Amino acid sequence: MSKKINFKKILKGLGIFVLVSVIALAAIPFLFKDKIKALVLKSINENVDAKVAFEDVDLSLFKNFPNANVTIDKLSIINKAPFEGDTLFYSGELNLKMSIKELFKGENEPMNLQGFSSNNAIVNVIINKDGLGNFDIALKNQEEDSKKEESKPFALNIQEYGVKNMRFTFVDEGSKMKMVLDSINHEGKGNFAAQKLDLDTKTTTKVSFEMDKTSFIKNIALSLDAVLGIDLDNSKYEFKNNKALINQLPLEFDGFIQLLEEGQLYNLTFKTPTSDFKNFLGLIPEAYAGNINQVKTTGEFKVSGKVDGKLTETTIPKFNIELASNNASFQYPDLPKSVKNIVIDTHIVNETGIMNDTYVNLDQLSFTIDQDIFNAKANIRNLTQNALVDAALKGTINLANVTKAYPVKLDKPLSGILKADVTTKFDMKSVETSQYQNIQNAGNISLSGFKYEGPEMAKPFEIKNTSITFNPNQIRLNEFDAKTGDSDIQVAGSLDNFYGFLFKKQVLKGSFNMNSTKLVVSDFMAPTTTTAEDGKKTTEAIKIPSFLDCNLTANAGTVIYDNLNLKNVSGNLAIKDEAVTLSNLKMDIFGGNIGLTGTVSTKGNQPKFNMDLGLNSVNIAESFTQLDMLKSIAPIANTINGKLNSTIKLSGNLTNDMTPDLKTISGDLVGQLLSATVNEKNSTLLTALSSNVKFLDVSKLNLNDIKASLSFKDGKVALKPMNLKYQDINMVVGGTHGFDQSMNYDVKFDVPAKYLGTEVSSLLSKLTPEEQQKLENIPITANLGGNFSKPTVKTDLKQATTNLASQIVKMQKDKLVGQGTSALSNLLGGDKNNTTTSATDSTKTTTPKEDIKNEVKNVLGGLLGGKKKKE
């Protein structure tokens, strides 16, 4: 009798087996991690002459189960001299794939790698001017090489590999060439253990290429799905089944690339699989071309080419690339206009294998929109040494039709008529060295009825007419008549090195005359923006372009800046190195005129200015109330009616809207008042001063031809002591105040005694006029503190009055003492001719002795403390 199968025990045993397996898989990495880490270090140290670092090495049996996965975190390879400090390679994560059984090999047995992958890698390949490459980091010692063969840590048995988000940069400093492959995603599958294999690859990237700082390709999307036939013995790579896209242009390749001991051998042909004109639209990035599958097209567009020859240090392969279209057209389904009669005939050719012999022939480029016909042709030769350019442009374009025929993404449509009929012939060395006699220009370009508005513009901008003439020596701006907001502007002048600016990134040099009947500065200012964080409106800082080096002579009938109306503005502006130098700038304002010289610079993070101003007969109250800077320098000036001549020197920082930052300005002011009077009702300070100094009537101060000298720095203003006159009172004013309106001023008065009021008038009456004239003037000081809106006034008037009283009493005592001494002398033995009462006279008379006696009594009584008088 057969036994029953116990499934319960089987499942239990299976569960135990799975559990033990999982525990073993989890435990193995801990057992072998140090071994793997040692092998990685050994592999690096035995192969690489560079500074290599990594954060950690991890081993996992789950990531690529049933294979083992070694992860090297943040691996970097840094070059030594002559590329000291350059990063050759960096990978955020490098994964090595191998069979689990490889972990159990002996110490001297190499581990076979089946695959690898990297994430977020960077590769920088540099060839310096001496022809040395930073990638040549293999150890050169032959003995070391033989040892490595005997004890190689890893052996390659690659079956698959992958790269995600890599950036590859190639720089050849000798030829000034730079190529960047960005956002590379690439994967390949094939048996690298075989000497001949088919490698199945998929690649996407973005390509940029520049030479001598001139960009030829920028962020062109490239994808390639290809089967490459690889012959490892002969280092030969053959294109088999493949499909490439340049942006949206399809291409197919045929031929091979072979690596030689010196250079590479190319034998390639490529072409578009179809001749549909949609191929041309495919050259344009999708963001600008839209969905080309919906576009109606006629005619054809073909790209074909052949590359044949060796690429070495001295030669390049010969090649011939052709782009051709004839009688084509296209129309987008949602747009009303079509582009017709398209002809393209372009050849890029090298027939010798010498790079400098490459030439580009744009034999014809033409198209029609409605009745407007546009034609262009160009020839460029001698590319790498001294490029020779011969080009012609002729035609008319109605800019309004551009957005009606092509899906250009604009917030507001363009308008205007562009006309061109220009020929030019020049070489790049003449451009670089400003040898304008070697440049042949002729023709003109005009634009009329142009209108544009956008978020970067404060107001819509309209060019009524502009005309440019191309001469051999320069490009002449004959006319530029524009309007924006309430402003009009007319400019004429010349550009001296337009091609140097266009092709060689030189500064743009020129000289212009500008006229305007009305110029409102806010019409040209960037609009304010509101930040999401605090909701505050901010104005973007204005920058003077670094590419300008030109002179401008300006005249404007009216310039409105903030709340200021400037009339008859004229002057010269020199723009260079992100700065404007102003000279002979004049304007009528505040009933007089202002002259200005100085500089404004936006170079660096903080705009700065340095100015000399000359104010001629300007209205004092207006200028010192409407200009914040002057208002801060002299807040009291708003109480003065009259005119001012002044020179002001100042410097400091500017805010984003190009107004002075008052906390940073420093300088000095020297001014002369003309026919000036004071209106104390406009100032709480002067009212408070008048209340505390009764003898002063501020409105009657004599300010004519008064000179004042101020200096300011770090938010403080210092007034050099200034002499004033009120009737026969001399005054000296000096002190400091802050831009925060705090102040500390002293007003010193030299006051005749008669102005000190009733307190001393009774004492003065005791003196004769001659004695009063002998009294010295009384010094009185008033200290002005607090701030201009809430001033405090302290005086020593009471003490001065007391001192005056003491002076008068002393004069009286000195006088009486003198009289008393004479009388006492007479009393004690003086005149004996006594007068007695006449017998016949009934009136009683005193003798001289009695008169003297009474006078002495009075004087002694006063001196010794008789009846006291109130002061």
Tokens of 137: 């980091």
Is the pLDDT at 780 greater than 70? The verdict is: yes
Question: 833 or 753: whose pLDDT is higher?
Answer: 753
- The CB density around residue 425, as the number of other CB atoms within 10 Å, is 15
pLDDT of residue 821: 55
One DSSP character per residue, 429-493 reads: HHHHTT-GGG-EEEEEEEEEEEEE--TT-SS-EEEEEEEEEE-SS-EEEEEEEEEETTEEEEEEE
Handedness of CA 435, 438, 442, 445 (dihedral sign): negative
What mean pLDDT is predicted for residues 740-754?
Answer: 88
Query: Residue by residue, what is the 3-state secondary structure of 667-723?
Result: EEEEEEEEEEEECHHHCHHHHHHHHHCCCCCHHHCECCCCEEEEEEECCEEEEEEEE
**Residue 457 to residues 196, 515, 716, Cα–Cα distance (Å):** 63, 21, 39
Is the pLDDT at 29 greater than 70? The verdict is: no
What mean pLDDT is predicted for residues 649-664?
Answer: 86
pLDDT of residue 441: 87
- Least confident among 304-308, 340-344, 434-438, 761-765: 761-765
Is the pLDDT at 418 greater than 90? The verdict is: yes
What mean pLDDT is predicted for residues 623-651?
Answer: 85
Q: pTM for the full model?
A: 0.64
pLDDT of residue 840: 41
- Least confident among 177-186, 217-226, 627-636: 627-636
What is the Cα–Cα distance from 506 to 529, expressed in whole angstroms?
Answer: 33
Per-residue pLDDT tens digits for 377-397? 999 999 888 899 999 999 999
pLDDT of residue 390: 94
Is the pLDDT at 588 greater than 50? The verdict is: yes
> In percent, how much of the chain has pLDDT > 90?
29
pLDDT of residue 23: 40
pLDDT of residue 360: 95
Report yes or no: 615 and 671 within 8 Å, Cβ to Cβ: yes
- Least confident among 137-151, 191-205, 806-820: 137-151
Question: 625 or 65: whose pLDDT is higher?
Answer: 625
pLDDT tier at 193, thresholds 50, 70, 90: confident
pLDDT of residue 769: 75
Distance, C-alpha 349 to centroid of its chain? 43
Say how many CA atoms lie within 13 Å of 66 toward its Cβ: 2
Cα–Cα–Cα angle for 34, 38, 43, rounded to 5 degrees: 150
pLDDT tier at 110, thresholds 50, 70, 90: low
All residues at 6 or more sequence positions from 368 whose CB lies less than 8 Å from its CB, including other chains: 339, 340, 341, 374
What is the Cα–Cα distance from 124 to 129, expressed in whole angstroms?
Answer: 16
pLDDT tier at 681, thresholds 50, 70, 90: confident
pLDDT tier at 13, thresholds 50, 70, 90: very low
Per-residue pLDDT tens digits for 533-576? 555 555 566 778 888 899 999 999 998 877 788 899 999 999 89
Q: What amino acid is encoded at 481 in this protein?
A: D
pLDDT of residue 80: 86
> In percent, how much of the chain has pLDDT > 70?
80
What mean pLDDT is predicted for residues 844-861?
Answer: 46
Is the pLDDT at 814 greater than 50? The verdict is: yes
Judged on CB neighbours under 10 Å (0-12, 13-18, 19+), 14 is exposed
Mean pLDDT (the chain) is: 80
What mean pLDDT is predicted for residues 777-804?
Answer: 86
**Cα dihedral angle (552, 558, 559, 561), rounded to 10 degrees?**
170
- Least confident among 366-375, 430-439, 721-730: 430-439
pLDDT of residue 155: 54
Question: 710 or 139: whose pLDDT is higher?
Answer: 710
Judged on CB neighbours under 10 Å (0-12, 13-18, 19+), 439 is buried
How do strand 154-172 and strand 111-127 relate by DSSP bridges?
parallel
What is the Cα–Cα distance from 220 to 217, expressed in whole angstroms?
Answer: 7
Per-residue pLDDT tens digits for 50-91? 788 777 777 766 566 667 777 888 888 888 888 888 888 888
**Residue 64 to residues 25, 97, 187, 190, Cα–Cα distance (Å):** 12, 7, 16, 18
Per-residue pLDDT tens digits for 691-734? 888 888 888 887 888 888 999 898 899 999 988 888 888 889 99
What is the Cα–Cα distance from 850 to 370, expressed in whole angstroms?
Answer: 136
pLDDT of residue 783: 93
Is the pLDDT at 154 greater than 70? The verdict is: no
Question: 355 or 23: whose pLDDT is higher?
Answer: 355
Is the pLDDT at 599 greater than 80? The verdict is: yes
pLDDT of residue 852: 44
Q: What amino acid is encoded at 312 in this protein?
A: T
- Least confident among 15-24, 517-526, 759-768, 843-852: 15-24
Is the pLDDT at 161 greater than 90? The verdict is: no
Tokens of 798: 């009471």
Place of tokens 């290429």: 209
φ, ψ (nearest 5 deg) of residue 133 = -110, 140
pLDDT of residue 142: 44
Is the pLDDT at 290 greater than 50? The verdict is: yes
pLDDT of residue 422: 93
pLDDT tier at 341, thresholds 50, 70, 90: very high
All residues at 6 or more sequence positions from 101 whose CB lies less than 8 Å from its CB, including other chains: none
Judged on CB neighbours under 10 Å (0-12, 13-18, 19+), 605 is exposed
DSSP 293: G
Q: What amino acid is encoded at 279 in this protein?
A: N
pLDDT of residue 266: 93
Is the pLDDT at 836 greater than 80? The verdict is: no
pLDDT of residue 313: 80
pLDDT tier at 586, thresholds 50, 70, 90: very high
All residues at 6 or more sequence positions from 321 whose CB lies less than 8 Å from its CB, including other chains: 303, 304, 305, 347, 348, 349
φ, ψ (nearest 5 deg) of residue 81 = -55, 145
Tokens of 628: 């914040």
Place of tokens 């007089």: 592
Is the pLDDT at 273 greater than 80? The verdict is: yes
Report yes or no: 229 and 240 within 8 Å, Cβ to Cβ: yes
pLDDT of residue 95: 83
Is the pLDDT at 25 greater than 60? The verdict is: no
What mean pLDDT is predicted for residues 181-209?
Answer: 88
Place of tokens 């020779």: 388
